[in-house]
Amino acid sequence: MTAAVLDHDSAHAHEEHHTSLPVNSRKLAIWTFIGSECMFFASLITTFVIYRDSHAKGPGPKDVFGVPLVTAGTAVLLFSSFFVVMALNGAQQGNRKKLLTWLTLTVLCGMFFVGMQVYEFTHFVHEGMGYTTNLFASSFFTLTGFHGTHVAIGTLWLGTLLKDAYKGRIPPTKAVNLEIAALYWHFVDVVWIIIFPVVYLMSLGR
């Protein structure tokens, strides 16, 4: 949330104020926020790792996880990171068509990922793994659910930027608006880069 708030809220905006470091304040702020988020996900991942074997009752990882579906989700998220750098590239070059094309693809990827997760969760529930079935389930849903929420927020954020881009409101001078959203997006991606092996593969391969 803080992340989205940073959009457009800068005291620098009123005048050509110098910044002490050669970096835009909003970009510095989003990096700060990302640093903070590291601890957020670290705590959730720790909780999952501690509880992943607590499934005396109900299904465990090996009963529910399927590799193909998450691999697809992982690939989609990785690609979306690629798409958004291309979109940023387009924005910086003032290439509207490039910007719109790649940004649209990014947003679609985000939507696909969220959809994948909704499907996965409902599937698990059908398998008899509800939120409170056991601690493995609770910590799995909490971790991946919060990651999914981040993806959803990122998708919304990129969606508003897509609208802006469509209306021609992201000229090269304002590419930083997209840049900070992209940074957040990549961060959400690297978190998944950790979740994918640690949560899925390592819980299966034991």
Residue 202 interacts with other proteins (CB under 8 A)? yes
Name the one range near other proteins by CB under 8 A: 9-17, 106-114, 115-123: 9-17
Residue 41 interacts with other proteins (CB under 8 A)? yes
Q: Which of residues 83-122 bind other proteins (CB under 8 A)?
A: 84-86, 88-89, 92
Number of residues forming the site for other proteins (CB under 8 A): 94
Q: How far is the CB of 107 from other proteins (least distance, A)?
A: 16
Residue 43 interacts with other proteins (CB under 8 A)? yes
Binding mask 49-68 for other proteins (x = CB under 8 A): xxx--x-xx---------x-
Q: What is the DSSP letter of 95?
A: -
- Token pair in block for residue 55: 């499934």
Residue 160 interacts with other proteins (CB under 8 A)? yes
Name the one range near other proteins by CB under 8 A: 107-115, 119-127, 190-198: 190-198
Q: Which of 193, 200, 203 is nearest to 78 (CA)?
A: 193
Residue 14 interacts with other proteins (CB under 8 A)? yes
Task: In whole angstroms, give the CA distance from residue 85 to residue 99.
Answer: 10
H runs (alpha helix) in 56-174: 61-64, 67-93, 96-126, 135-166
- Token pair in block for residue 153: 């927020």
- CA angle, corner 96, sides to 3 and 155, nearest 5? 30
Q: How far is the CB of 143 from other proteins (least distance, A)?
A: 10
CB 146 within 8 A of CB 48: no
Task: In whole angstroms, give the CA distance from residue 128 to residue 47.
Answer: 22
Residue 124 interacts with other proteins (CB under 8 A)? no
- For the chain, the residue count is 206
Q: How far is the CB of 19 from other proteins (least distance, A)?
A: 5
Query: Site for other proteins (CB under 8 A): which residue of 118, 119, 128, 131?
Result: 131
- Token pair in block for residue 27: 């970009």
